[in-house]
Chains A and B, each alone.
Chain A
Amino acid sequence: MKNEEKIIEQLTNHRIKAPDGFADRVMKALPEWGGVAKRKRSAGFWPAHGRWIAPAFAGAAAMFLVVFVLGQFKPPAEQMQVGFHFELHAPGADRVELLGSFNNWETDDIVLIGPDASGHWTATVSLPEGSHEYIFLVDGKRWIADPKAATHRPDGFGRVNSVIKVYEDEDALQG
């Protein structure tokens, strides 16, 4: 135990002065700090000996492919819808419905509002682009083609349907 204490004391009190210029020589012997960092940084990013070329080309090819595929993909165009105003003069009616190819000829689907003071029933319906056939159903029993429509097409059941044509470049065209 005494021996140990003696050694500790010796070490604590051990002071030898370094020779002159020792610190300068050590610092000169060390490589420059900036250069090492730069080399390390570049070595991390660019693999040495041209080993970056293949991965870089692969990445570029993948990116090109992604851009090409995205360019080819076109989302389905939304079908244009145009609001069209339907009107029927039926002063004595209790209920007027509109049936057509645009609503798969469903009854109880489009019910016209009215009658107004002059006996008109009206409805505004959004229609997709194209040609549509339609007919009014009055009081659930009378089928009436639109007298205002310019074109009427035979329905194959002994009646006629009215025809409306809706296209992108116009609002809505009857006939």
Chain B
Amino acid sequence: MHYKVRAVLVGLLFCSAALGADDAVCSKGWKTLYEKNSKLGLTGERIDHALGRCRNSGMTLQETDMLLYPVSIARSESLPVESMLNKIEEGLAKRVDAKQLAVALEARLENLRRAARLIPSSRPGGGGNPQRLITQVCMALESGLPEAVLKELFELLGGFRYGRLVHVVEMGETLQLAGLDPQNTKQIMDDCLSRQLNRSEMVRVVDYLLEEHRKGRAFKTIHSELWIHSK
């Protein structure tokens, strides 16, 4: 009896030692991953949080490394990374598998690149936060707003501030998602910029447009009525 108890105890001891070793290796691996990303410029609480979420969601080290790779690429290209980290966290919450999540991240990285290319870096009077505009343009592209529409918008003359452009692009995305024709959306975006509407006024324009659009009225009619009220 004594012998059996001793054997069980020794067995348990071996098991716990093996588990402890595995955990130690694991922690070392996560630490290495953290350090690797720190060297790539992804530092601070945000990356710590994202890593923690990956680990707690059951992602392996390799999978986490794969997910963070496009984020570090975005950082190295001076693109905003917050929306990418957010996408990782969204995917983890929705229990999306690592491969599908990696595809979504690649798509986001590509859209951020497209957005950055579209926005002229030396806009006269373009004070404000270009990173926010890049993110918003990326979202609009993901929502299906054609690149050509945005390109033409940014080619308009005028020293528009990034903040105003953010609101205009946001408005364009809303109209796109509501099913408006992209060319009509572009016309409204141009109108709002040239008339220097502020965000509240743009919201009123969108509300009026969508209400009339839902009634099935032709865009031309709605558009001609739209600016009569503003005169």
Tell me the complex Cα distance, A28–B107, Å. 103
Q: CB-CB < 8 A to A106: which residues of B?
A: 89, 93
Would you call B21 an interface residue if the criterion is a C-beta within 8 Å of the partner chain's C-beta atoms?
no
Q: Which of A119-160 contact B (CB under 8 A)?
A: 131, 133, 143, 150-157, 159
Select the stretch in B8-16, B30-38, B62-70, B170-178 that faces chain A.
B170-178
CB of A167 within 8 A of CB of B94, answer no
Interface size on A, residues (CB 8 A): 25
Any chain A CB within 8 A of the CB of B136?
Answer: yes
A152-B177, A169-B199, A173-B203 known; A104 vs B86 contact (CB < 8 Å): yes
Closest residue to A135 on the B side, CB-wise? B94
Which residues on A sit within 8 Å (CB–CB) of B203?
170, 173
Complex Cα spacing A170 to B167, Å: 13
Among A105, A150, A153, A169, contact of B139 (Cβ-Cβ < 8 Å): A153
Within 8 A of A (CB), among B173-224: 173-174, 177-178, 198-200, 203, 206, 210
Asked if B136 and A151 make an inter-chain contact with CB atoms under 8 angstroms apart, the answer reads no
Instruction: Give Cα distance in the complex from A105 to B142, angstroms.
Output: 19
- With A150-B210, A175-B206 as contacts: A155 and B198 at CB distance below 8 Å: no
A153 and B177 within 8 A (CB): yes
Complex Cα distance, B100 from A99, in Å, reads 20
Is B142 a contact partner of A99 (Cβ separation < 8 A)?
A: no
Could you tell me if A105 and B177 are in contact, using CB atoms closer than 8 angstroms? no
Are B93 and A99 touching (Cβ within 8 A)? yes
Task: Decide yes or no whether A101 CB sits under 8 A from chain B.
Answer: yes
Q: Is the C-beta of B134 less than 8 angstroms from some C-beta in chain A? A: no
Q: Which of B86, B96, B143, B199 contacts A167 (CB 8 A)?
A: B199
B90 touches A105 (CB 8 A): yes
Report the Cα distance A157→B178, complex, angstroms: 20
B75 contacts partner chain A, Cβ-Cβ < 8 Å: no
Which one of A107, A133, A151 has the highest number of Cβ atoms from chain B below 10 Å of its Cβ? A151
Q: List 14 A-B contacts (CB under 8 A).
A: A104-B89, A105-B94, A106-B93, A131-B139, A151-B177, A153-B142, A153-B173, A153-B177, A154-B143, A156-B104, A157-B96, A169-B199, A170-B200, A175-B210
Which B residues are closer than 8 A to A by beta carbons? 49, 53, 86-87, 89-94, 96, 100-101, 104, 107-108, 136, 139, 142-143, 170, 173-174, 177-178, 198-200, 203, 206, 210
